[in-house]
């Protein structure tokens, strides 16, 4: 891991903040763009202004909640495979092939 000076840390933080604000600005502009044209959808709900922006946000929230619920069911402890791991086995010292050399 590389160590950064305080000025470099501040730069990367401001760069990530800038990226966040640019992304949020683009999301707002794209959401507002639905007010500039008349949609020709197949269903009535598609004619609501900002429907797709709202639908995308709700879908994102549902995915986050599903991930939170599924996470305890899918994660394993750090030592889950340890009892069956070959590194946990005890080896006879005379079969390890270690060499004793004076340096």
Q: Establish if 95 belongs to a structural domain.
A: no
pLDDT of residue 63: 96
Q: Establish if 1 belongs to a structural domain.
A: no
- pLDDT higher than 80, residue 8: no
Q: Establish if 49 belongs to a structural domain.
A: yes
- Which domain does 34 fall in, by range? 11-76
Which of the four pLDDT bands, split at 50, 70 and 90, describes residue 41?
A: confident
For the stretch 49-94, pLDDT in tens is 888 888 988 999 999 999 999 999 998 887 777 666 666 667 777 7
pLDDT of residue 89: 67
Q: Establish if 94 belongs to a structural domain.
A: no
Q: Establish if 96 belongs to a structural domain.
A: no
Q: Establish if 84 belongs to a structural domain.
A: no
Q: Establish if 100 belongs to a structural domain.
A: no
Q: Domain count for the chain, please give it.
A: 1
Longest CA–CA span in the chain (Å) reads: 84
- pLDDT higher than 60, residue 10: no
Cα–Cα distance between 103 and 80 in angstroms, integer? 40
Q: Establish if 21 belongs to a structural domain.
A: yes
């Amino acid at each position: 891991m590389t160590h950064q000076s305080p000025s470099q840390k501040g730069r990367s933080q401001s760069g990530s903040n800038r990226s966040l604000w640019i992304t949020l600005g683009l999301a707002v502009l794209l959401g507002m763009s639905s007010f500039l044209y008349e949609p020709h959808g197949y269903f009535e709900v598609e004619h609501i202004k900002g429907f797709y922006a709202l639908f995308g946000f709700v879908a994102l929230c549902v995915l986050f909640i599903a991930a939170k619920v599924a996470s305890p069911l899918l994660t394993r402890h750090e030592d889950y495979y340890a009892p069956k791991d070959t590194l946990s086995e005890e080896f006879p010292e005379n079969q390890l092939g270690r060499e004793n050399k004076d340096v």
